Structure 1
Amino acid sequence: MDWDKLRIFHAVADAGSLTHAGDKLNLSQSAVSRQIRALEESLDSTLFHRHARGLILTEQGELLFDATSAMSKRLDAAAARIRDSEEEVFGVLRVTTTFGFGTLWLAPRLPKLYEQYPDLNIDLMLEERVLDLPMREADVAIRMKEPSQADLVRKRLMTVQMQLYATPEYLEERGSPESPEDISKHRLICQTPSAPQVGASAMMVRHLMTYNPTSLLTVNNYFGVLQGVLHNLGIGVLPDYVTHDFPHLQSILSDIETADVPVYLAYPEELRHSKRVAAFRDFVQDEIIAQRKQLKQMGKL
């Protein structure tokens, strides 16, 4: 099968238009059209439905596009490995993690990484959905459970717990709960039950709901939960990593907490020797170690 025709087919399928694909490939529309017709003739199949609004893949076209997409991602991975310098850290590193961890723990620490590696560009993808690392949807993932995908290098970074927190101002006004039953006198702030989240958090919220809180504020990520707590709206269910950078928050009913939730860093086996990945991995580990030392000094460990 002609690789050049496959490249042109992939561009057309991705753009949904002969004209847009031609612009991207620096080819005329007629040249792109000829290549697509030749490919269809060689496969004896129609790859596109043509209509006034553009092109839509046929069932056969979808099968071929899946194959060319996988090829493209593999080629990107190979190119990334080739570009990796033996001595320098540069280029784009695509990092995926949850919205809460990315906004509240990782992003505030990235200036230190950029200071150390000014030629490194981080593409931070905050998704609750687990991206496919072997298929190169991302280079590195930080997740609240061990990744199950094959061909990954895994590193356990730390553990977190879900706990209850409130501001001193809120507790002064509404009183501090002395027992779980006192939750009935307060507003509970937590993740939306239907939102993707670690099982430990969902179990904790279900348990707290049995005490009939006065009212409820649900948010689909921990950043929103934290904002509710910081603005004195109630008592929030938060992972303890969130509150390390907000030491004024007070832990409530510390006996009510979840089991340890492991946090893993993972990346494809083929990036094992990537300097960019190694720099990011070491940076995250160093930040966790520094945080532990700080918490010990504060008597919180």
Structure 2
Amino acid sequence: MDLDKLRVFHAVVEAKSFTHAADELRLNQSTVSRQVSALEEELGITLFQRHARGLNLTEQGEMLHGATKEIFGIVARTQSALTDSREKPKGVFKVTATVGFGTHWLMPRMRDFIESYPDIELQVILADEELNLSDREADVAIRMRQPVEPDLIQRKLFDVRYHIYASKDYLHRRGEPRSIEDLDRHALITYGDAPSEIRSVNWLADVGRNGSGPRTPAVTVNQLTAMLLLCEAGVGLACLPDYLTHGNDRLVRLLCTIDGPTFGVHLCYPESLKGSKRVSVFREFILRLARDWTF
């Protein structure tokens, strides 16, 4: 099998379209389509079911994708090891974090790292769903829970705590809740259908209900930044993390004696990257930030 054709096939599967794969490979779409067709002809099988809504892999396509994933994973790891054998850290370096934490805590602090290591091509992927580090979807992750994968090196950074907040305007109009039971009479802003690893962000809807079902929120929005903006606009109460509200004089913390959910923030990366200079300098940078940050 021709390696170039396999690379094109792999790119189409990962991009989920011929068009996006062509952009990724810097080829025109007709070339990508011809390469895949030639691979199908060479193997004597159909790799994709093409339909109006996109592409689906056939059973044989799934088998081949498993092989190409392993092959190009080895190539990526080898390329990374060769890059890191040089004296100075350089090359593509992918960091992933949740949208809220990455936007409001990590990004404002990244300038020093970027300026200190100009030869590192930093790519930041913000997603509330966890990326697969073993498949090199990212090199390093900052997660809101302790990783369970056995092949990941991990280091706890600190705890993130959630508290209840409202705007001054909302409290002027609706009054301040004095107990958990009072939450039943207030408009709530919740995250909605959260990934399992951060499901307790909807604590505000469930706390104190004693099995009677969650409170019905005024609005759900699957992004912490949007929750913050709604809260600041006086829409309702929201359970927000300390990194998001630190220094915010537009919000008032409520029911201060009641603790919301706590997430342990962990830095993690694959065992195969423990010798990586890029990982090493980023780890030391993040650990220094973590030591210096208090709330």
Please indicate, yes or no, whether the TM-score normalized by the shorter chain is above 0.5: yes
Contact kept, 8 Å, 2:131 with 2:138, in 1: the verdict is yes
Matched, 1:157 2:154: no
Q: How does 1:134-173 map to 2 (within 5 A)?
A: 134-173=134-173
Q: What residue is the counterpart of 1:286 in the other structure?
A: 288
Is this contact kept in 1: 2:40–2:47, CA < 8 A? no
Q: How does 1:130-279 map to 2 (within 5 A)?
A: 130-192=130-192, 194-196=193-195, 198-207=198-207, 216-246=218-248, 249-279=251-281
SS in structure 2 of the partner of residue 161 of structure 1: strand
Q: Matched residue of 1:95: which SS?
A: strand
* Residue type at the aligned position of 1:9: L
Gaps of 5+ in 1: 296-301
| Higher deviation after alignment, 203-212 or 222-231 | 203-212
Contact 2:188-2:238 within 8 A present in 1 as well: yes
Describe the SS at the equivalent of 1:178: coil
Please, which moves more after superposition, 121-130 or 244-253? 244-253
- Deviation (angstroms), 1:242: 1.5
**Alignment length (residue pairs):** 282
Question: Which consecutive residues of structure 2, in runs of 5 or more, have no partner in the other structure?
Answer: none
- Which one has a bigger Cα radius of gyration? 1
Secondary structure in structure 2 of the residue aligned to 1:123: strand
1:11 is matched with 8
Is the contact between residue 100 and residue 221 of structure 1 (CA under 8 Å) also seen in structure 2? yes
Instruction: Give the direction of change, closer, same or farther, for the CA distance of 1:289–1:51 in structure 2 (3 Å limit).
Output: closer
Deviation at 1:240, TM superposition (A): 1.9
Q: What is the DSSP-based 3-state SS (H/G/I as helix, E as strand, rest coil) of the residue aligned with 2:293?
A: helix
Deviates more, 1:136-145 or 1:106-115: 106-115
User: Which residue of structure 1 aligns with residue 82 of structure 2?
Assistant: 82
CA distance in 1, matches of 2:131, 2:49: 32
CA distance in 1, matches of 2:72, 2:283: 26
In structure 2, the partner of 1:103 is: 103
Residues 209-265 of structure 1, C-alpha deviations (whole Å, 9 max, x = no match): 679979622111211111111222222111222222535532210222235321111
| Shift of residue 49, structure 1, vs aligned partner | 6.4
Paired amino acid for 2:189: I
Deviation for aligned residue 1:195:
2.3
With over 3 angstroms needed to count, the CA separation of the structure-2 counterparts of 1:164 and 1:32, relative to structure 1, is: closer
* Kept after mapping to 2: 8 A contact 1:13/1:57: no
Mapped partners of 1:105, 1:239: distance in 2: 11
CA contact 1:184–1:211 (8 Å) conserved in 2: no
Q: CA deviation at 1:137?
A: 1.0
The corresponding residue for 1:66 is: 66
SS at match of 1:160: strand
- 1:128 is paired with a residue whose SS is coil
Tell me, in whole angstroms, the C-alpha distance in 2 between the residues paired with 1:34 and 1:219: 43
1:24–1:265 Cα change, 3 Å:
same
| 1:1-50 CA distance string (max 9 Å, x none) | x5xx1442341464477xx699849xx89x9589737842xxxx524469
Indicate how the Cα distance of structure 1 residues 204 and 185 shifts in structure 2: closer, same or farther if over 3 A, else same.
Answer: closer
**Matched residue of 1:146: which SS?**
coil
Change (3 A) 1:262 1:37: closer
Instruction: State how far apart, in whole Å, the 1-side matches of 2:231 and 2:36 are.
Output: 58
Identity %: 33
RMSD: 3.6
SS at match of 2:218: strand
Summarize the alignment of residues 51-62 of structure 1 with structure 2, pairs less than 5 Å apart: 58-62=58-62
- Separation in 2 of the partners of 1:91 and 1:259? 38
Query: In the superposition, relative to structure 1, how do residues 235 and 207 fare at CA in structure 2: closer, same or farther (>3 Å)?
Result: same
